[in-house]
Amino acid sequence: MSELPELQQDAITTVREFFAALEMGAVEEALGLLDPGIVWKNTSLPDVRGIGRVGGLLRGLDRPSFGFRADMNHIAAESTGSPIEEGSTVLTERVDYLRAGPVEIAFWVCGTFEIVDGRITLWHDHFSWENFLRGTAAGLWRAIRR
């Protein structure tokens, strides 16, 4: 297996491009920003390990009846390496929107991304299940009222 080339961009740009690709439904482009050994963690859910499994989940959402977007409220990076590309942590505070048919769910998310050699090695999202359930109820209410 050949080694992936290092991406030559700062860590915040990598995370912003990752979200932009997901929003456009460009799953393969988003996966190109992930390390093959990616770990995706979500609050109280099992970890998803490896680009094959993460890719399978993201491709499963890439259907006309589903949608994703995010409003990035804050984004900041901290570097532990020299130069910055050797190891950076990016923190995001955002509102994610998941759409299933006519129902769109909005909920607050705080994400931690670890970047090594320009690729995301860890994607760890923290969110409140209460906030998610409130977003679900509001989304259902809006869909019913239409």
Active site residues: 96, 125
Length of the chain: 146
Q: What is the C-alpha separation between 68 and 47, in angstroms, rounded?
A: 20
Within 8 A by CB and 6+ apart from 104, the residues are 67, 97, 98, 139, 142, 143
